[in-house]
């Protein structure tokens, strides 16, 4: 029972990070039917930018709170710029190309971004500077830390903000209209190019925040960390029904919990044959299961024929 509760807490934390990243996939897919496989790399760059900025500022004697805030801001700005640039340079010229073309381009851009990050930050693991003294709390035998509480609360805030943007603003309405019928949306005066760019920029901003969270949670970062994180967040988006905002949140949290429970019990289940470091397999079991039995996901409206 203690393991169970503990793993639910861990899953919730990991899941809210997945959810934040999954929103980036689902927003872009919802509007233009493209799976932006480079999104995981945007998150990775967010983590590394934050490490550089926070590390540099703290070394210069800037207080941790200011350094942390500046680091998050820098990560958000850099990621938004990369998201905007990706759409402009890689995807917009392919707007009317066959579906496979932008998909392959996305994989290509992901490789490009990884290599750029390798050149800038090197091949070695970078440690995330510790900003706050993380304290441990205990409830019913399960423990959680200040960092974990912060991750869950910040993600919740970000998601609430995104929902407000999408359901309460004019830009959000234009985004939903464009997702449903881009041609008619442009007849209403919506500049489709701008709406698509906005989806990339907003998704990248969420990804940047997720990147900072991943960094401060695991306290370590690497130029290749984006691909696994991206794949899992993509799985979360598919699980919830890709293109569906609420689905991405639900899928992220659910995937985090499934993974955590899997990691917690895999030793018992296999009599010690497999350890908790095999936790990655659960995400992919989920992905394969969803694609086989419910390709539209939990909240998906219809099975799209999109690549």
Partner 1 sequence: MGLRVAYGGIQAVRGITFHVAEGEMVALIGANGAGKTSTLKAISRILDTAGGTVRFCDREITRLAPHRLVREGIALVPEGRGVFPRLSVAENLAMGAFVRSDTAEIDRDLDQVFGYFPRLKERAEQLAGTLSGGEQQMLAIGRALMSRPRLLLLDEPSMGLAPIMVQKIFEVIQAVARQGMTILLVEQNARLALEVSQRAYVMESGEITLAGEASQLLNDPRVREAYLGES
- Cβ closer to partner 1: 173 or 220? 173
Name which position in 132, 157, 184, 288 contacts partner 1 (CB under 8 A): 184
Q: How far is the CB of 102 from partner 1 (least distance, A)?
A: 21
Extract the tokens encoding 150.
Answer: 């912060």
Name which position in 8, 149, 177, 274 contacts partner 1 (CB under 8 A): 177
Name which position in 130, 146, 169, 180 contacts partner 1 (CB under 8 A): 180
Q: How far is the CB of 254 from partner 1 (least distance, A)?
A: 23
Q: How far is the CB of 302 from partner 1 (least distance, A)?
A: 11
Extract the tokens encoding 288.
Answer: 């394969």
Which residues inside 116-175 make contact with partner 1, applying CB under 8 A?
Answer: 170, 173-174
Which residues inside 276-305 make contact with partner 1, applying CB under 8 A?
Answer: none
- Cβ closer to partner 1: 8 or 177? 177
Q: How far is the CB of 186 from partner 1 (least distance, A)?
A: 4
Burial state string for 100-117 with b = 16 or more CB within 10 A and e = fewer than 16: eebbebbeebbeebbeeb
- Cβ closer to partner 1: 181 or 270? 181
- Cβ closer to partner 1: 153 or 180? 180
d(CA 175, CA 51): 33
Q: How far is the CB of 143 from partner 1 (least distance, A)?
A: 43
- Cβ closer to partner 1: 65 or 184? 184
- Cβ closer to partner 1: 123 or 168? 168
What is the contact mask toward partner 1 in residues 187 to 226, using x (rule: CB under 8 A)?
xxxxxx----------------------------------
- Cβ closer to partner 1: 153 or 181? 181
Three-state SS letters, the chain: CHHHHHHHHHHHHHHHHHHHHHHHHHHHHHHHCCCCCCHHHHHHHHHHHHHHHHHHHHHCCCCHHHHHHHHHHHHHHHHHHHHHHHHHHHHHHHCCCCCHHHHHHHHHHHHHHHHHHHHHHCCCCEECCCCCCCCEEEECCEEEEHHHHHHHHHHHHHHHHHHHHHHHCHHHHHHHHHHHCHHHHHHCCCCHHHHHHHHHHHHHHHHHHHHHHHHHHHCEECCCHHHHHHHHHHHHHHHHCCCCHHHHHHHHHHHHHHHHHHHHHHHHHCCCCCCHHHCHHHHHHHHHHHHHHCCCCCCCCCCCCCC
Binding residues with partner 1: total (CB under 8 A):
17
Q: How far is the CB of 187 from partner 1 (least distance, A)?
A: 5
Name which position in 20, 42, 82, 185 contacts partner 1 (CB under 8 A): 185
Which residues inside 80-109 make contact with partner 1, applying CB under 8 A?
Answer: none
Stretch that binds partner 1, among 50-58, 148-156, 180-188, 283-291 (CB under 8 A): 180-188
- Cβ closer to partner 1: 61 or 189? 189
Q: Which residues contact 53 (CB under 8 A, 6 or more apart)?
A: 67, 70, 71, 74, 75
Residues at the interface with partner 1 (CB under 8 A):
170, 173-174, 176-177, 180-181, 183-192
């Amino acid at each position: 029972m203690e393991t169970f509760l503990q793993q639910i807490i861990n899953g919730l934390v990991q899941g809210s990070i997945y959810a934040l990243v999954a929103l980036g996939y689902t927003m872009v897919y919802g509007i233009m039917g493209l799976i932006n496989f480079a999104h995981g790399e945007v998150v990775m760059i967010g983590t590394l930018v934050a490490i550089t900025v926070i590390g540099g500022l703290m070394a210069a004697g800037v207080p941790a709170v200011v350094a942390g805030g500046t680091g998050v801001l820098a990560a958000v700005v850099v990621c938004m710029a990369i998201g905007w640039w990706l759409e402009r340079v890689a995807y917009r010229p392919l707007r009317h190309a066959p579906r496979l073309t932008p998909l392959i381009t996305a994989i290509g851009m992901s490789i490009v971004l990884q290599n750029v990050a390798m050149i800038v930050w090197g091949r070695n693991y970078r440690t995330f500077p510790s900003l706050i003294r993380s304290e441990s709390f205990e409830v019913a035998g399960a423990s959680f830390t200040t960092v974990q509480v912060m991750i869950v609360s910040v993600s919740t805030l970000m998601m609430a903000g995104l929902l407000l943007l999408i359901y309460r603003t004019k830009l959000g309405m234009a985004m939903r209209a464009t997702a449903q019928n881009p041609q008619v949306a442009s007849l209403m005066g919506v500049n489709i190019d701008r709406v698509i760019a906005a989806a990339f920029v907003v998704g990248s901003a969420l990804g940047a925040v997720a990147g900072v969270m991943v960094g401060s949670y695991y306290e370590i970062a690497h130029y290749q960390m984006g691909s696994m994180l991206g794949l899992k967040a993509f799985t979360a988006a598919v699980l919830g029904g890709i293109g569906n905002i609420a689905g991405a949140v639900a899928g992220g949290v659910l995937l985090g919990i499934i993974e955590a429970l899997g990691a917690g019990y895999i030793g018992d289940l296999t009599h010690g044959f497999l350890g908790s470091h095999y936790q990655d397999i659960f995400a992919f079991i989920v992905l394969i299961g969803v694609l086989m039995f419910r390709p539209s996901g939990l909240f998906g409206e219809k099975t799209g024929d999109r690549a």
